[in-house]
Amino acid sequence: MSEEKQGDYRTRTDICLRCPQGCEVQTMLGPDDEILNITGNKCKLGKEYVEQEIKDPRRVLPTSVKVNNGTSPMVPVWTPEPMPKGLLLDLASESRKITVEAPVHVGDVILDDWRGLGVRLVASGEVARAE
């Protein structure tokens, strides 16, 4: 994302990630960050993407957690639903303190409803129990 300021107005350019086209979408914002104009998107997904990025940017967090008594010391996990971008580092930091017991299977919910926000941390890999 890049930004240019022109008086009370600013223009930001985002590259849309919703489809393979990767459109460069320009958004004109007013003094109170209201969206005045969106251009450069080749489909409606670009407009929706930029509106979301400005109003409530969200991301999926891929990370890993420790495993006790497993064939691997770590298991990959992720947040299947996008979460507020500003909270990514908090959850990443908290995930370093999580330890689960083997076996772990794809789809196992490791953390449910983090901070009451409906954010789940779900296993995306398998770790068998060590013999």
- The CA-atom distances, in angstroms, between 34 and each of 13, 107, 108 are 15, 39, 41
119 and 92 assigned to the same domain: yes
pLDDT in tens, 13-70: 999 999 999 999 999 999 998 999 999 999 999 999 999 999 999 999 999 999 999 9
Domain that holds residue 106: 62-123
49 and 79 assigned to the same domain: no
Length of the chain in terms of residues written: 131
Of 38, 55, 72, the residue at which a domain comes to its end is 55
Q: Pick the range with the lowest mean pLDDT from 4-8, 31-35, 99-103, 117-121.
A: 4-8
Average pLDDT for the chain = 95
Residue 131 lies in a domain: no
How much is the pTM? 0.80
Could you report how far apart the first and last alpha carbons of the chain are, in Å? Answer: 50
Find the DSSP H helices in 2-122.
Answer: 44-55, 88-95
Tally the domains of the chain: 2
68 and 119 assigned to the same domain: yes
